[in-house]
Amino acid sequence: MNIAVFVTFQIILFLQLVLICAKGPKNRKPAGKSTKSNADKKGTSKSIMKNASSKKGDKKEEKDEKKDDKSGEKLDISPTELKWEFEEGQQAIKVKNNTKKRFAIKVKCTDNNIYTVAPVVEFVDVGKDLTVAVVRGKGALKKDKIVLCSMPVSDAETNAADVFKSGNPNMDVITMDKRVRS
């Protein structure tokens, strides 16, 4: 790869990362403040107890419905492997939503001291693309992984992080290998 093209690509990725970070996290709540009152919490615990005493047949039907909701509903992610030419650098992961549902994504990494990703949690609307920037800092050259968790959500959902507190997300693994020179 031509050095000028490589440097231009790195600058573009850096600018995208700066723009993503400048937007800040969406719907951030102040630390230590809860949005639910005590009355709401009691109502929630009553509904949990009520649901826990339901019939086993109802639970089986719910599981079958959840399986039907997820079947064939996955995001297109590319590339599935990142190879680093230099010890430090930047790469991008493209996430495409070609489904008929809105998705929430959460990005996890095996070594947060070396890798920085942005955005960590975000929504991907129907027919839209999202670019996840991966920045590698100095560190030991080893095999690492990025796991991209995704779950279908309703259009009314406003906080992508809350979606992953319950449920079973789809998981796509992106492997990152040692430095490669061509």
Is residue 38 situated within a structural domain? no
d(CA 116, CA 106): 13
pTM of the entire predicted model: 0.60
Is residue 158 situated within a structural domain? yes
Is residue 51 situated within a structural domain? no
Which CATH number fits the domain that encloses residue 9? 2.60.40.10
Partner residues linked to 136 by β-bridges: 89, 115
Q: Which residue has the tokens 């991008």?
A: 92
pLDDT at residue 31 above 80?
no
Is residue 72 situated within a structural domain? no
| 99-157 per-position pLDDT tens digit | 999 999 999 999 999 999 999 999 999 999 999 999 999 988 788 999 999 999 999 99
Is residue 39 situated within a structural domain? no
Is residue 154 situated within a structural domain? yes
Is residue 56 situated within a structural domain? no
CA–chain centroid gap for 47, Å, is: 30
Q: By residue range, what is the domain housing residue 93?
A: 3-23+77-177
Q: Is 102 helix (H, G, I), strand (E, B) or coil?
A: strand
Is residue 44 situated within a structural domain? no
Q: How many domains does the chain have?
A: 1
Share of the chain above pLDDT 90, in %: 47
